Structure 1
């Protein structure tokens, strides 16, 4: 809450430690850098992303499972925190370059895990270049959605491009681009 009230750059680690009634050393023992204080669910998010592929229902494609996971996460965030708080947090995040960059790097760290679970699902030992590219593109959709005032619209557009490929985009624009 300190960050939202005063801005990320205007709050020191000492102030965070004082508010939590711990020492700054204790803060750094649990959070390797200041930005990590804002994003405390990295492992949980990776696990949920992987589970969306691994635990999908019969007949549900990887692509559909990831699409549905993203939409469910957007909705869950609004339900948990309310639309106003969710929007305020996203505005705060996007207005703070260090946090925006950290969030993107954090999310893209899941690329290897996502590619591995997709490859395993397909019965192959190693992700192909196509699986790696797909994994990166899917993760980029979440980053774009988090930077948008319309995360659902961006999510839908991103998955539509991946579903139909660039040729569909060309058709929708009426010309080769």
Structure 2
């Protein structure tokens, strides 16, 4: 007798063949783009070259990636999920600014030990178009972060202090790197969050 396995309630169905094919095409395009960008530089690689390397048409490429910058920076949903989880799932006793500082140090400034990741970070930070696009996409999480901060603090969802903390927390890594360079950015970021934590504690006491 064959045992029938049932999925837990609420479990989304596995992706179908069409979805898997679309995901594979998307990954092939992104991988081809990153390889060419790392080899020759972002500005010296054209969309047609990327499409040819991935064996797709330019029309197909733009269906998956509407702008060139998105070929490199396309983890917006995943980044927001990690950011909000840093606040919601912080250890007991850890303040919201401290949780956001730890997230920034780990995910926004960390160079990592993987040479490929370091090369990717250098590509983004040394290319103005990518650097500006990354910051623009990152700041799109401000409203969602402000709502989570308010919820975790027992404050109204439209409290301007929550919006201010969210904006400052998201802006701090870029400001620290721009003002102090990669070597001193971690110290500068920690200093900035010390100020945020002191002010937030006084506000919510």
Which TM class, normalised by the smaller chain length? 0.7 to 0.9
Q: Which runs of 5+ in 2 are unaligned?
A: 1-34, 200-205
Distance 1:159 1:60 in 2: 13
1:123 aligns with 2:154: yes
Alignment match of 1:36 (pick from 60, 64, 70): 70
Structure 2 match to 1:90: 121
Structure 2 match to 1:173: none
1:142 aligns with 2:176: no
Task: Give a deviation string over 1:111-149, Cα, whole Å, max 9, x none.
Answer: 011001111112344231111111110001122355531
Q: Is the 8 A contact 2:73 2:134 kept in 1?
A: yes
Alignment match of 2:101 (pick from 37, 57, 67): 67
Q: Secondary structure at the match of 1:22?
A: coil
Alignment root-mean-square deviation, CA: 2.1
- With structure 1 as the length reference, what TM-score do the two structures score? 0.80
Structure 1 match to 2:55: 21
Segment of structure 1 superposing worse, 16-25 or 104-113:
16-25
Distance 2:46 2:76 in 1: 22
Distance 1:114 1:77 in 2: 24
1:111 aligns with 2:145: no
Distance 1:145 1:15 in 2: 36
- Highest Rg: 1 or 2? 2
Structure 1 match to 2:38: 4
* CA distance 1:110–1:74, shift in 2 (3 Å): closer
Q: Secondary structure at the match of 2:37?
A: helix
